[in-house]
Structure 1
Amino acid sequence: MYIADHTWPELGDYVAEESVAVVPLGSTEQHGPHLPLATDHLIAEALAREAAERTGFLCTPTINVGVSPHHRQFHGTMWVDPPEFRDYVESFTRNLTYHGIDRLVYVNAHGGNVQHLREVGRRLHEDETAYAVEWMWDESIPDLIDDLSEFNGPHGGPKETAMIQHIAPELVREDRLADARDGGVKDMSAIRDDNFVHGARTFYDARENSDNGVFGDQTDATAEKGEELFEAATEQLVKLLEWLDAREFAELLPAGHVDPQPGSRR
């Protein structure tokens, strides 16, 4: 159920029975010449809404702007700095806990958000406010992603292209797929060879590695592959939500200090 479509009494009925929510998060940033800036938050919202529809759990509005300064050289990219992003998501989450939610999945579709969402989850777990976990759709189905494309890429590649071809085909510039491939980096092994020196990662921004900001072979993407990816990722998210719902909240709290407890021998 989508929270913004319901009245407050209806939401009261929900939290009287359930305490699980999904929070979709993405970005508004460049995704090459063929995909919209909305790519990440479109994917996150579609997956979260579908999983909520299948399970009946609560879905919140989408957080559309994330931590994306590494794409700042490309027109239109928006970002917030990490401390502000973490504080906003934490405050957003504490708002939900005030209304009775104590278990959340951050349905994330942007790599730049990952470490910050995990940090927010750690804070909430440490003070026993909520159990919130970050879930990245492509990390839930790595084998399928590898099977579907010979040249994958972490950004604007065939997996994201296929997902948008499935979710919002009207937003894909199909006539620019070859441009995306030829103007970017098709084979990611070159990046690994050229940008790690004596064990140190020597780059910060996408622009340093790819002239058009994307990686992989976008011409290998199809809407049919996108549908397969979407269904497989949704299935994993549904299973995660069901697992989370089956846990007693006390099971999810931090473990106690090992014995002897501090001060116990005084």
Structure 2
Amino acid sequence: MYLAEEAWPDLETYFENESLALVPLGSTEQHGPHLPLATDHLIAEGFATAAADRTGFLRTPTIDIGVSPHHRQFSGTMWVDAPVFRDYVESFTRNLAYHGIDRVIYVNAHGGNVEHLREVGRRLHDDEDVYAIEWMWNDSIPDLVDELFEHNGPHGGPKETALIQHLQSELVHDDRLADARDGGFPEFEASDPTHHGARTFYDAIDNTDNGVFGDQTDATAEKGERMFEEATAQLVQLCNWLDDQPFADLLPKDHV
């Protein structure tokens, strides 16, 4: 069920009988010369939609601009400052709680959002209002990702390329895959992002001229479909597990 397509009287029954919502979040940021800026939020929305369709749980509209200042040198990248992002996500999550939702899954597809979603989840958990957790698709299927790609890369690499080839192939510039690989770093470790144990970079451009890592020529729509189905199955299982938990068991434990 997609919240924004329903009339309010038709949502009353859901809020009376269910307490879980899926919130897709991503970014609008550069993903190299071959992928759209929408990559992350398209992926997040794809997973949240599929999980909502297969479980009947509520999906909210997608949050499509995230914490992305580290990609700002590349044309078109949009971002919000981290404190603004955290406050915004917390605010609309409390809005869901007002309607009766007490557990939320942030279906996230942007690494820059992770720590901030965890912080929001902690605030809500400490206040005993909502149990909100962050889910990242590739973290649910790490072995499959390693199996499919020899040189993956954390950003704009073959895993994201394959997913967009599966979800919206018309947005992928397949004629630029070799350029994406050759203009970036096929092997992430080769970019040497640390010195003497310290992370000495702040922006993506400090490590890659075209903004991406990995071997994009290794991506196919078939690999994308396999990842999508297996990660969606994990998200469905997470939804069902969370729905089964008594809310009291999700609250903070008492001081020892």
Provide the rounded CA distance (Å) in 2 between the counterparts of 1:126 and 1:10.
32
Alpha-carbon distance between aligned partners in 2 of 1:28 and 1:198, rounded to the nearest angstrom: 33
1:78-99 deviation per Cα after TM superposition (whole angstroms, max 9, x unaligned)? 0000000000000010000000
Cα distance, 1:232 vs. partner?
A: 0.7
Structure 2 distance, partners of 1:90, 1:83, is 11
Q: CA deviation at 1:188?
A: 1.2
- Residue by residue over 1:24-68, the C-alpha shift from the partner in whole angstroms, topping out at 9 and shown as x without a partner, is 000000000000000000000000000000000000000000000
Instruction: Give the gaps of 5 or more residues in structure 2.
Output: none
Q: How does 1:79-90 map to 2 (within 5 A)?
A: 79-90=79-90
Mapping 1:115-194, distance limit 5 Å: 115-191=115-191, 194=192
1:179 maps to a residue whose letter is: D
SS at match of 1:22: strand
For residues 134-188 of structure 1, the C-alpha deviation after alignment (integer angstroms, 9 at most, x for no partner) is 0011111000000001000100000000000000000000100001000000011
Residue 212 of structure 2 corresponds to: 214
Distance 1:78 1:198 in 2: 32
Between 1:158-167 and 1:196-205, the stretch displaced more is: 196-205
Aligned to 2:233: 235
After TM superposition, the score normalised by the length of structure 1 is 0.96
Report percent identity of matched pairs: 73
Alpha-carbon distance in structure 1 between the residues aligned to 2:205 and 2:255: 46
Letter in 2 for 1:200: A
- Between the aligned partners of 2:232 and 2:3, the Cα distance in structure 1 is 19
Q: 2:223 aligns with which of 212, 218, 225?
A: 225
Which stretches in structure 1 are left out of the alignment for 5+ residues? Answer: 259-266
CA deviation after TM superposition for structure 1 residue 196, in Å: 1.4
For the residue of structure 1 that corresponds to 2:22, the secondary structure is strand
**What per-residue deviation string (whole Å, max 9, x for no partner) do you get for residues 77-126 of structure 1?**
00000000000000010000000000000000000000000000000000
- Give the aligned residue type for 1:50: A
Counterpart in the other structure of 2:244: 246
Q: What does 1:19-30 align with in structure 2 at a 5 Å threshold? A: 19-30=19-30
2:97 and 2:83 mapped to 1: Cα distance? 21
Find the aligned partners of 1:123 and 1:117 in 2 and give their Cα distance: 10
Amino acid at match of 2:201: F
What are the superposed Cα offsets for residues 168-218 of structure 1, whole Å, 9 maximum, x if unpaired?
000000100001000000011212xx3311211111111000000000000
Q: Which amino acid aligns with 1:185?
A: F
Q: Does 1:98 align with 2:98?
A: yes
Query: What amino acid does structure 1 have at the position aligned with 2:250?
Result: L
Report whether the alignment pairs 1:114 with 2:119.
no
Pairs aligned (count): 256
CA distance, structure 1, for counterparts of residue 244 and residue 76 of structure 2: 42
Distance in 2 (CA, whole Å) between partners of 1:184 and 1:107 is 28
The one-letter code of the counterpart of 1:225 is K
SS of 2:134's equivalent in the other structure is strand
What SS does the aligned partner of 1:163 have?
helix
Alpha-carbon distance in structure 2 between the residues aligned to 1:81 and 1:9: 36
Inter-partner Cα distance in structure 2 for 1:198 and 1:126: 37
Q: Give, as a single letter, the amino acid of the residue that structure 1 aligns with 2:152.
A: N
The TM-score normalised by the length of structure 2 is 0.99
